[in-house]
Amino acid sequence: MKKNLMLLLIFTFCNQLAFSQKETTVLSIKKAENPIVINKNIYGHFAEHLGRCIYGGFFVGDTSKIPNTAGVRNDIIAALKELKIPNLRWPGGCFADTYHWKDGIGPKENRPTIVNQWWGGTTEDNSFGTHDFLNLCEVLGAEPYLAGNIGSGTVQELADWVQYVNFAGKSPMSDLRKKNGRNEPWKVKFWGVGNEAWGCGGNMTAEYYAGEYRKYATFMSDWENTGGITRIASGSNGADYNWTEVLMKNIPTNMIGGLGVHHYAVINWNKKGDAVDFSEDQYFETMKSALKMEELVTKHAAIMDKYDPAKKVTMAVDEWGGWYEVEKGTNPGFLYQQNTMRDAMIAGTTLNTFNNHADRVRMANLAQCVNVLQAVILTDEAKMILTPTYHVMKMYRVHQDAELLPVSFTSPMYTFEGKSLPAISASASKDKSGLVHISLVNVDSKKENTITIDLNELGLKNVTATILTSKKLQDYNSFEKPNAIEPKEFKGFKNAKGKLELTIPAFSVVVLEGK
């Protein structure tokens, strides 16, 4: 009896010991046989005339006491330059298909006002228009991405806009541009042909929109840019694969430079949940929605490959991010929400997905840049804060225009109430100077995870790391504590004989740099 009891105790102890030992994820990174470059435009942003994104966000006017350049806040300019933002999408969103660009040029006092019917029913005075936006992009060193109006506009209107901003010779529109103070064209490359044509852009069927796209694209001519302009079609709503099928089948590849995809991490469109006061169940469901991006990109890419095996057409995920209920006491139409470590998880995993699909995903735009949805910047009059999402984008900027290094691993699982998700997300690249960067995310809400990487495969010896984490998932940067969450040096790893072992804390983002 005593012998059996002793054996039972030993067996129980061994089981507990095995259970307590850390599960190790082996991450393999190899050089690609046919290298692919991670297009910097994956790290693009989005500025819509919505809530306080433009007015009270970017634009305060040149008479404001807040330091500005031509009415745009200097602190926002500096922050976005630090991110090295490659492109900026404007003026929408849903607003794009109600926007008539000629309302936003010429003397500001002569510009007509309109009602922003989509976002809060506010009066739009058009004081921030084409010149303001394109000059801002020049200051930022970012490519402008203009979304054209095909919902309530005309072919002539969009064709005139292209001529106004791009044509250097003598023409009615270039003469008008010069009259308004700009001699040289801006040479805008990226043009959206409508926005969400399946919804707020006109509630069109895929077949009808394909015909409209072909018509508009035909008259969007440009001889000034090398290689011409890149026309980007209004793409699918999430998993609407038929939309992608119809457009790729009916639009010749020589007429289309990019095809959009929109996907937001949302718990439930009818009950989105609070941006800060959320439960673990809500966190799990948000991450489930965010991680669906992998499936969406893979399946849309497979359809595009069928019609475009040479991968000439870019997949442009030109709206993505987390979407919650607005902050209490704010205008429901302004979509202002706080930004927590949950948003850092969304940003890190999504960008890893885009990096790993860089053969097809060559543009993306986080929604949105300032004061709207998953913003990188929040403002309160003269105050400004950088969100956890901003810090992830800054940590990941090292991947821009770097060579993709394929990663392979079997992720441990994040489990909650019988449901499971992959806990680890990763991507890697090698920049032009030879530095290797590995970005890792652990979405598990409670458990740290151990990862080993064979550095000898890439000939790496010296490694440093940066981490973004906090005590609680619900933590955020406030105007009272603007630096509560910010990147710090990470030392939770050891390098022994070319084998790197690191323990990444729960809900953390880590970027390794090796040479």
CA-CA distance, 411 to 425, in Å (whole number)? Answer: 8
Where b means 16+ CB within 10 Å and e means fewer, 265-279 reads bbbeeeebbbbbebe
Where b means 16+ CB within 10 Å and e means fewer, 371-404 reads bbbbbbbbbeeeebbbbbbbbbbbbbbbbbbbbb
Q: How many residues does the chain have?
A: 515
**Could you confirm whether 294 is annotated as catalytic?**
no
Catalytic residue among 48, 124, 319, 403: 319
Domain with CATH 2.60.40.1180 in the chain: 22-33+406-514
CA-CA distance, 427 to 356, in Å (whole number)? Answer: 6
Q: Dmax of the chain from CA atoms?
A: 102
Domain with CATH 3.20.20.80 in the chain: 40-401
What are the CA-CA distances from residue 429 to residues 35, 363, 387, 437 (Å)?
A: 10, 17, 25, 5
Q: Which residues contact 169 (CB under 8 A, 6 or more apart)?
A: none
Assign a CATH topology to domain 40-401: TIM Barrel (3.20.20)
Pick the CATH number of 22-33+406-514 from 3.40.630.30, 1.10.260.40, 2.40.30.160, 2.60.40.1180: 2.60.40.1180
CA-CA distance, 402 to 38, in Å (whole number)? Answer: 6
Q: How many CB atoms lie within 10 A of CB 416?
A: 18
**Could you confirm whether 184 is annotated as catalytic?**
no
Catalytic residue among 196, 212, 285, 403: 196
> Tens place of pLDDT for every residue, the chain, 515 residues?
444 444 444 444 444 433 334 678 999 998 888 899 999 999 999 999 999 999 999 999 999 999 999 999 999 999 999 999 999 999 999 999 999 999 999 999 999 999 998 898 899 999 999 999 999 999 999 999 999 999 999 999 999 999 999 999 999 999 999 999 999 999 999 999 999 999 999 999 999 999 999 999 999 987 655 568 999 999 999 999 999 999 999 999 999 999 999 999 999 999 999 999 999 999 999 999 999 999 999 999 999 999 999 999 999 999 999 999 999 999 999 999 999 999 999 999 999 999 999 999 999 999 999 999 999 999 999 999 999 999 999 999 999 999 999 999 999 999 999 999 999 999 999 999 999 999 999 999 999 999 999 988 888 888 999 999 999 999 999 999 999 999 999 999 998 888 899 999 999 999 999 99
Residue type, 256: I
Note whether 88 and 44 are within 8 A (CB).
yes
CA-CA distance, 407 to 30, in Å (whole number)? Answer: 7
Q: What are phi and psi of 223, to 5 degrees?
A: -115, 0
